[in-house]
Amino acid sequence: MKGTAILIVLLNLWITSQALDCKVVEGRLKQIDAGNGQVFGVNSAGEIFTLYKSGWTKLPGALKHVSVGPAGVWGVNSEDNIFKLVRGDWVTVPGLLKQTDAGGSLFIAGVNMHDDIFCLNGDETMSYKTGANAHWVNIPGKLKYYSCGPYSCWGVNSQDNIFIMKGVSPTACGGSMNWEAVPGLLSMIEVSTDGKVYGVNSLGDFYYREGTSPCNPTGTGWQHIPHSQKVKHVSYDLGHLWLIGTDDSISDCST
């Protein structure tokens, strides 16, 4: 029993001493999103960028938040208008949202200025064309930030409380419609294309949710990731953890 306790302590010390292998990426962004092998971001002036090879390529238009994933590339502007990138052009989608997330299984989700939560089922998300209707599903509850993955969605409310929605799918983007509270406090949360969950708290510290899987979407607990800089936004895809510092600096970290 004593030996087991010592082993656990040593294991915890080993985990918390892990240092991220990060490199600073040229440029400044206030928000970033990675998914499906692509990286998009916006800066404080609302300019939109995508990572092409080793540098940023500026896209036309202006957005305050952009998201990329299985649902495509979506964004919202300073007036909360919603856009989808279709064949290189930003197409207006009916509705108003302050934040969107394209990481769900072929569906888009987001929250509006009143923290109301919405999603669009996969058939409409993937086939949306200019001028079509958008039958947004209103999910009960209030969240200031919402992010979806292949088998669950996560969100945080105005008090930084954390919630998970299970059972999401392309034909039921609202999932079970029953929120489950998750211990902890985070100011933003991000679910990757493969279901990994990362979050940032109000102090600029960021965390990884251990043990998430299709059989256990909630996971087992939060693991603090030590980092020399305070962070305000995080996104993960294909082994790359993208961090936006409080000064809008960009870091690409290997995990």
Instruction: Write out pLDDT tens, residues 53-83.
Output: 889 999 999 999 999 999 999 999 999 999 9
Exposed / middle / buried, residue 76 (Cβ in 10 Å: 0-12, 13-18, 19+) = buried
**Residue 150 in tokens:** 């292949």
Query: Quick check: pTM over 0.85?
Result: yes
Print the SS3 string covering the chain: CHHHHHHHHHHHHHHHCCCCEEEEECCCCCEEEEECCEEEEECCCCCEEEEECCEEEEECCCCCEEEEECCEEEEECCCCEEEEEECCEEEEEEEECCEEECCCCCCEEEECCCCCEEEECHHHHHHCCCCCCCCCEEECCCCCEEEECCCEEEEECCCCEEEEEECCECCECCCCCCCEEEEEECCEEEECCCCCEEEECCCCCEEEEECCCCCCCCCCEEEEECCCCCEEEEEEECCEEEEEECCCCEEEEEC
Quick: pLDDT tens for 145-201: 999 999 999 999 999 999 999 999 999 999 999 999 999 999 999 999 999 999 999
The pLDDT of residue 45 is: 98
pLDDT at residue 10 tops 70: no
CATH of domain 25-254: 2.130.10.30
CA distance 101 to 108: 6
Percent over 90 (pLDDT), the chain: 86
Show me where the domains of the chain are located.
25-254
Distance set, CA 179 to CA 143, 153, 162, 216, 243 (Å): 11, 10, 10, 15, 28
**Residue 105 in tokens:** 């299984």
Give me the residues paired with residue 82 across strands: 76, 93
Give me the residues paired with residue 35 across strands: 38
Quick: pLDDT tens for 187-245: 999 999 999 999 999 999 999 999 999 999 999 999 999 988 999 999 999 999 999 99
Quick: pLDDT tens for 30-40: 999 999 999 99
